[in-house]
Structure 1
Amino acid sequence: MYQITIYWYNNTLSKFFIELHRILLNNILFDKSHTANLIIKILKEIDIGRKLLGITTDNIANMCFIENILQEKVLSKFNNNSIQHFYYSIHILNLDIEEGIKKVNKKNLE
């Protein structure tokens, strides 16, 4: 299950304040082999492919692979080459902590 959430900002209130907005589009069950195609379809439906600046995911291998495909598709479908990939830092920290706990537990068992 994945969530597609859109974040955007505007600074129409004044030049010194930026208003951040967020909307959850949907919780979607993706077939891992078609994730990039489904994301492209959603971007077309809501007409934001040219405005997309980044994608944020965990750092599992299939999401890294999907991100590369997504960058190519966003460039070819929307002529947008500004997309960046960001990783959830808390997910990376959690993986590191789990690995550390495993090492500590192994030492305690010896």
Structure 2
Amino acid sequence: MTTKRRLITDSFKVVKKARRGGKKEKQPPPSPPQKETEPGPLSVREMELQELRQFDLDLHFGPCIGISRMQRWERASLHGLNPPEEIKELMLTRDTDLDYTHCLWSGYPL
């Protein structure tokens, strides 16, 4: 006497779902992403501004909102925090350029 094997699918009703939107058109495969060109070497100005931004972001020298970079440097020096001399020299050599004298956050209202 052989017994009929029961499958799990025998217990459930088979339901087929209709496709939404009908037949889709085949689209060509996306083109491979273009390789981005590497940025060239930074100019001297860009390197100097990058150093000044790092000074702005260093919380060791206190808050920098509402004051110029030079005021912040002098305040840090007054409190014995030993700010980098290179930063002061950069600010003094370009004292008429606002990118050098104003803090990174100077464009944001308080």
Q: TM-score range by the shorter chain?
A: under 0.3
Structure index of larger Rg: 2
Q: Which has the larger share of strand? A: 1
Q: Which has the larger share of helix? A: 1
TM-score (norm 2): 0.24
TM-score (norm 1): 0.24
Which of 1 and 2 has higher RCO (CA within 8 Å, sep 6+)?
2
